[in-house]
Amino acid sequence: MPAHGFSAHALALGAADAGYIPASANLFPRGAFDLVMYHLVTQRLALAEGVQFSSGASSGGGVTANLRSLVLARLRANETIAPHLPSALALMSLAGNIPASLAELGRLSDEMWYLAGDVSVDSSWYTKRGALAGVYAAAEVFQSGGHGEPEVAAFVDRRLDDVRRVGGAVGSVGEWVGYTGISTVNLLRSLGVRI
């Protein structure tokens, strides 16, 4: 695939290499998009075995460091298909392929949080996964522009820092709203309002 990209021609050549007639590539109903999905799934599954975390990065700030390592490892897996990454992203953005692409992005984000050591189940579960999915998707688009590993790593660092800062601000606003709400209820109760 790296030589022929994500194409019907690559499917036909793969079928021929496996000993089947080239027409057997028609067994893949989504055509070249099935090659893209194969790449996405195999690289997501490879994360569990291929990433080594630095010692001492097991809790607190370690989850963020682990996420960074996982995002960069997954992006490194795209290096073998770098010339064809824009066409893969184009296939993923076709209307019929968007649901499968988003579902796989969600599984990737969930896997990364789990592998990073985050096992919390709280109200931020979906928010954290959505934020990481956004960071990864933006980094992959940035990478498809032909940027090298140092530039991609700096981009990921900036996006993760943005998420951390926005997350802290949202958390502070949430605390303020909660405090204000409780104070308002208590004030109304003190005035005799039944709440």
Check residue 59 and give its pLDDT.
Answer: 41
Contact 35, 1 (CB under 8 A): yes
Asked whether residue 58 carries a pLDDT value surpassing 50, the answer given is: no
Record the pTM. Answer: 0.77
Average pLDDT over residues 21-45: 89
pLDDT of residue 11: 82
Q: What's the pLDDT band for 176 if we cut at 50, 70, 90?
A: low
pLDDT at position 1, please?
Answer: 47
| Better pLDDT: 2 or 94 | 94
In angstroms, the CA 136 to CA 121 distance is: 22
